[in-house]
Amino acid sequence: MRAHDDAVPEPDWLENLVAGLEAAPAYALAGSRIRFLYSPGVIDSAGDALAACGQPYRVGHRMADGPLFDRPAEVFGISACAALYRRSMLLDVGLFDEDFVSVYEDVDLSWRAFSRGHRALYVPGARVRLHPEDPKRRRDLPGIVTSGADGAFRFRGLEEGTYRISIQEPGGGLRPWNGPDSEDPLSGHLLSDGLQGVPAGTEEAILRVRRALPVTGRLVGVDGKRPPLDGRLLLVGDAPAGGRPRKETLPIRDDGSFRTPPLDPALTWEIRASGYEGSAGGVVKEVRPGARDLVVPLEAGLPLAGRVLDQDGAPVPAGARVLARAAGYDEDYPSAAGTATVEEDGRFEFPRLLSIPYRVAVEAGRDIEPAPSQETWFPGGEPALLRATRFFAAAGKVVDDEGNPVPLTRALARAPGAPAYAAHGTGTTEGAFRIERIPVRGAEIAVVARGRTVILGTYGLPATDLVLPLSAEPAP
């Protein structure tokens, strides 16, 4: 048996705990019904559970005590605040790990017991009240609440100090609600940001709440009928401050209908459809929580065409790739993206995109770089005109007056008259050189040879088989 010095047991606590474990020989750990000392109607723990991510948490923590906690239940583990362990289990898995001191040592023991097949039992008749010895903890404890139909509430038995007030509905927060203009009940739940620093004795504290409600609707195909079931329906809520966008894949019934979980009205929601055969997808923005019979139509899609020109106004080479992505969307929505290949004369076309604005740019590569732009283009509208910087190469060898190769240290290129070299290349002892990513068609080429930098002249690019005589003119 183990009990913390801040636990205040009921007179029959140990008797009921022992009886509960004796009545269930398949279990090796028994935990208590732990409530707050100053709020005996509020649960601190009815056993420990383990979330899918591996995070342990207390079952029923800060929930109102009631019939929900009256039945024995198997749990992942138990709080060492008031616990009973079989000796055989401790001999098998060991005692508390002293490295944990006084935090998570019970979770560690429960995990070791669980991993070796020992089961844990919550015993509701073993009642204990937890004394909040830390004043900071005491101020955060909930009180006994009475609430009427007018929304009034009252906390009783609070000590002097300031408190945080939040809302929590019994049974996981679900309750029926009649939607607007409808008698059909929809399940929703209440949400609140709570109140901070409320002094005990405050005559009136107003707690603002909002009701999260689901959305029901159906996906409609391009022909106005139910769509094929080979795609994906994604629910997206905008990111809270400092957080990530909320995303969830929605299951779709055979008739194309769907139902979302309750949606927080403080966020902006949208529903995206993608991956459906014969369709560019679909999107519905600003979905209102509580909406019923919402229609998400799939679109056949519209073309978006255009040209890509380089810094001199000439078309970029055929074969370059152009990428399109709808403004404000990421890789979770593939229907809002596309890839096209540049054809002759720099032209490209996306045959099927959604009727929403897109940002379009040529894909960066070794010989091409997109010009920065925030401009957007609409499918079915004016052709997109894209700009890109094209790079050129120069290669060849350097010889002296007798045609012998001149050993080179490196090679340089710049626009005629430019103060600095824009590209640097390699040179070899056999006189060969190569310069890549030169951002101009006509470049002044220089080499470093015999301990000095020498200008060889200005040449049109691209050029890969130059034979250049070493000039006597040193570079500035």
- pLDDT tens across 117-136, in order? 899 999 999 999 987 644 44
Q: How confident is the model at residue 140 (pLDDT cuts 50, 70, 90)?
A: very low
| The pLDDT of residue 241 | 60
Using DSSP, how many helices (H) and how many strands (E) does the chain show?
4, 37
Sorting pLDDT into bands at 50, 70 and 90, what band is 42? Answer: confident
pLDDT of residue 185: 39
Amino acid 422: pLDDT: 93
pLDDT score for 244? 73
How far is the CA of 350 from the CAs of 82, 274, 301, 321, 338, in angstroms? 67, 16, 10, 11, 7
DSSP 69: G
- Percentage with pLDDT > 70 across the chain: 86
| pLDDT at residue 226, as a whole number | 79
Domain ranges of the chain: 2-135, 159-212, 217-297, 302-388, 392-469
Does residue 113 surpass a pLDDT of 60?
A: yes
Q: How confident is the model at residue 149 (pLDDT cuts 50, 70, 90)?
A: low
Residue with tokens 């997206």: 236
Contact present, 420 and 445 (Cβ < 8 Å):
no
Domain range 392-469, CATH architecture = Sandwich (2.60)
Instruction: Answer whether residue 155 shows pLDDT above 90.
Output: no
- pLDDT score of 88: 93
Lowest mean pLDDT segment, chosen from 52-66, 219-233, 338-352: 52-66
The pLDDT-based confidence of 46 (bands split at 50, 70, 90) is very high
pLDDT at 10 exceeding the cut of 70? yes
pLDDT exceeds cutoff 60 at 179: no
**8 Å CB contact between 384 and 309:** no
The pLDDT score that the predictor gives to residue 181 is: 36
Least confident residue range of 204-208, 252-256, 363-367, 429-433:
204-208
Query: What pTM did the predictor assign?
Result: 0.56
Predicted confidence at residue 245, as pLDDT, reads 78
Q: Which of 145-154, 359-368, 463-472 has the highest mean pLDDT?
A: 359-368
What is the pLDDT averaged over residues 44-63? 82
At 204 the three-state DSSP class reads coil
Q: Does domain 302-388 have CATH number 2.60.40.10?
A: yes
CB 120 within 8 A of CB 56: no
Q: For residue 142, what pLDDT is reported?
A: 45
CA atoms 183, 186, 187, 193: torsion sign? negative
- Could you tell me which of 266, 284, 250, 151 has the C-alpha nearest to residue 213? 266
Distance CA 216, CA 293 (A): 5
pLDDT band at 240; cut points 50, 70, 90: low
Q: How far apart are CA 410 and CA 433, in angstroms?
A: 7
| CATH code of domain 2-135 | 3.90.550.10
Examine the pLDDT at 55 and tell me if it is beyond 80: no
pLDDT at 144: 44
Most confident of 194-203, 377-386, 449-458: 377-386
What confidence score (pLDDT) does residue 211 get?
Answer: 81
Mean pLDDT for 207-212 is: 80
Q: What is the mean pLDDT of residues 161-172?
A: 62
Residue range 276-289: mean pLDDT, rounded:
91
Q: Which pLDDT band holds residue 348 (cuts at 50, 70, 90)?
A: very high
Q: How far apart are CA 261 and CA 163, in angstroms?
A: 31
Q: What is the pLDDT of residue 216?
A: 93
The answer to whether the 302-388 and 392-469 domains have the same CATH topology is yes
Residue 182's pLDDT band, with cuts at 50, 70 and 90, is very low
**What band does 203 get if pLDDT is binned at 50, 70 and 90?**
confident
pLDDT in tens, 377-434: 999 999 999 999 999 999 999 999 889 999 999 999 999 999 999 999 999 999 999 9
Question: What is the overall mean pLDDT for the chain?
Answer: 84
